[in-house]
Each structure stands twice: as structure tokens, then as C-alpha cells.
Amino acid sequence: MALSDSQLGRYSRHIILREVGVSGQKKLLASKVLIIGAGGLGSPAAMYLAAAGVGTIGIADGDSVELSNLQRQIIHTTADLGRSKAESAAETMGALNPDIQINTYCMRLTAANIADIIKDYDFIIDGTDNFPAKFLINDACVMLGKPFSHAGILRFEGQLMTYVPDRGPCYRCIFEAPPPKDAVPGCREAGVIGAMAGIIGSMQALEAIKYIVGTGDLLTGSMLIFDGLKMEWRKVKLPKKSPHCPICGDSPTITELTDSDEELCRL
């Protein structure tokens, strides 16, 4: 397909990049990315992917916009209070770039529906902030062979890694199972600085763009950790894919998706 004059203008700063060019922009326009969670991480990821011209973006979130969200969830405004987060996010993305298609899923993703939703997407972004959701996303992506970006933020710290099938460890290779309930404080208990969501969520969008275009080094086999108080980055080399991993190892013991009863904390 040939880019229109409008597209050539909109994406001109991409096109002049040697690593992207016209061919890379066409890949973005033909790609499909699903963002699970329209909160702190999902907000900047969604806006930058929409601006980048990712042709189809899915946004999944079963929650409504609350006042306490607005400190970090920049895709929503005060006028959106009480609205579905997925619909609010879709409206902002559509206003930013009418060139793209946006699919909304105004629901909590569960073991019963996640596989059917992610199957048509090229890359998944985990924008959740609870262990049950993160393990469910990991397991579904491993089973369906889908690459995804994991991230988490708390207080003044953030971390992210990328899973690509057969190119590095999955989330369970590193963290075999969720911690006991209440063992790790969530954002409601410990707090989170709003700008941290922008920093880490934007990097998730960058990982998706690099994967789609096929350029640069992804965070496969590495965890990138940011300390916002000290302004220090650490890149930690992760163990190789574990042959004993219960989902992607040599003899998987997890053969079907299951839900946890733990209460969710949304970003």
C-alpha cells in the first residue's frame, strides 16, 4: 500500500529515521497491538502507539474513571469521571489520530475470555498492576505464542521486560508464582509518583514499536529497572529460559488458564 500525502506528513519524523523509513511505517500501520489496562502504564503507551500509527489498537479495561486516577492516568480528564476507561481512552486516541482503528473491551480479562481476545494481536502490553493479571497475561501469551511487554511501577521505581517466544525467559521463569496475598503493597497502599507511569509506559510503547518495525535490541532476557529518586537505570541480565518453568519449560504443568480470587489493584 502507498502512504497518502496526509500519512507522509503525519509520520514524517518516523520516515526520515533510517531504522524506520516508509517500510517501517507501513509495518506499523498494518500491525495490531492490544493494551491490557487503560491506567497509568496503559495511558502513555496507548497515546504513543496511536500517534505512531499502529493500525489497530485494542484497549481492555473493565473499570471506570475515578478521581484518584487522574494524577497519573493522563489519557483521561476530569470530564471523563464515571466513564468506562476503555471508552474514554479510545476517544482520546481517536482524536489524536483518526487514521487508526480502535477496539474497546470494557471488561476484565479472565481465563475464559483472554485467549479469544489476544489471538488476533501482534503484540500485547501488560498495563496492569496486580499479580493475578500479570501471571494470566503471561500464561495466555506463552500458550498462544504472543510477545508482550511486562512492566510495573510503585512509589518512585519502575521496571520492565519483554517476552518474545523462544528468545528469552517468560514472566514465570523469573517469578514462578504470585506472592501471598498482601505480601507486597500495591499502589493504593504504597503510592506511586505520576510521572513514573509516563516514563515506563512510554518505554513499553517503544518496545512494541521496535518489535513491529524489527529494529534495535528488545528487553528479552533483561529487566530494566529505574530509580526515579536517584535518576539511575539498571539493566539486569535475567536467567535463561528455565527448563523447569511450569508454563514454558520442557514439561509444562500449567496446561490451561485459571483465574485467581485475589482482589485486583488497577493502575
Rounded CA-CA distance 88/65 in Å is 8
Helix (H) or strand (E) segment spanning residue 88: helix 85-96
Name residue 148's beta-bridge partners: 124, 163
Phi, then psi, of 158 in degrees rounded to 5 = -150, 160
Is the per-residue pLDDT at 10 higher than 50? Answer: yes
Among the residue ranges 47-51, 54-58, 87-91, 242-246, the one predicted with the least confidence is 242-246
Averaged pLDDT for residues 44-53: 98
> Residue 151's domain spans which residues?
31-237
| pLDDT of res. 163 | 97
Decide if 74 is inside a domain: yes
Is 253 part of any domain? Answer: no
Q: Please report, for the domain that includes residue 38, its CATH number.
A: 3.40.50.720
Cα 214–61–113 angle (5° rounding)? 80
Q: Is residue 267 part of a domain?
A: no
Residue 56 forms part of a structural domain: yes
> What mean pLDDT is reported for the chain?
93
Tell me the C-alpha distance between 86 and 69, whole Å.
14
pLDDT tens digits, 142-184: 999 999 999 999 999 999 999 999 899 999 999 877 766 765 6
**Does the residue 254 lie in any domain?**
no
Q: Which of 45-49, 71-75, 183-187 has the lowest mean pLDDT?
A: 183-187
| Share of residues in the chain with pLDDT > 90 (%) | 85
- The total number of structural domains in the chain stands at 1
Distances from the Cα of 245 to the Cαs of 21, 43, 173, 175, in angstroms? 39, 32, 5, 10
Look-up: residue for cell 500519512?
7
For residues 2 and 31, what is the distance between their CA atoms, to the nearest angstrom? 16
User: pLDDT per residue over 62-107, tens digit each?
Assistant: 999 999 999 999 999 999 999 999 999 999 999 999 999 999 999 9
Instruction: Look at residue 13 and tell me if it is in a domain.
Output: no
Which residue reads 488497577 in cell numbers? 266
Q: How far apart are CA 178 and CA 133, in angstroms?
A: 10
* 143 in any annotated domain: yes
The answer to whether residue 245 is domain-embedded is: no
